[in-house]
Amino acid sequence: MNKEQFYKIIDKIRDCDDKCNRAFQAGVDLINFTDDYHSIIDGLLTSIFDKEKVGILFWYLYEYQEGEMKIYDHKTSEVLYDFDKEGDLWKYMNDKGESPF
């Protein structure tokens, strides 16, 4: 998967999640329909990236807070990835180095 494809997928996941949230607010609960899709997406992403990275990706997707989405080196407290910076999410997902956790 290249960077462009990755960000298109991220955008589509967000769009679908926004639509489901709007439907829920209107009284339509789609969770029984969307749970399987989330399992499929998780499985496909885990076949490309390791499970820890997919977990961080879902954290980013579902708990995003501007200015709060950073990964720090657990030894030095240095910011390794700032997901508000363009390209840092992609960089993190493809980093083959030691886990910062």
Q: What is the pLDDT of residues 39-98, one digit of tens each?
A: 999 999 999 999 999 999 999 998 887 878 999 988 898 999 999 998 999 999 999 877
Tokens representing residue 86 in the block: 């363009």
43 inside domain: yes
101 within a domain of the structure (yes/no) = no
Number of domains present in the structure of the chain: 1
- Position 100 scores a pLDDT of 75
**What's the burial of 57, exposed, middle or buried (CB within 10 Å: 0-12/13-18/19+)?**
buried
Q: Let me know: does 63 contact 89? Beta carbons within 8 Å.
A: no
pTM: 0.83
Q: In the prediction, which pLDDT does 96 show?
A: 86
- pLDDT above 90 for 31: no
Find residue 70's DSSP bridge partners: 82
Structural domain including 21 reads: 3-94
What pLDDT was estimated at residue 67? 78
Write the CA distances from 73 to 27, 61, 68, 87, integer angstroms.
43, 21, 15, 18
User: Residue 99: inside a domain, yes or no?
Assistant: no
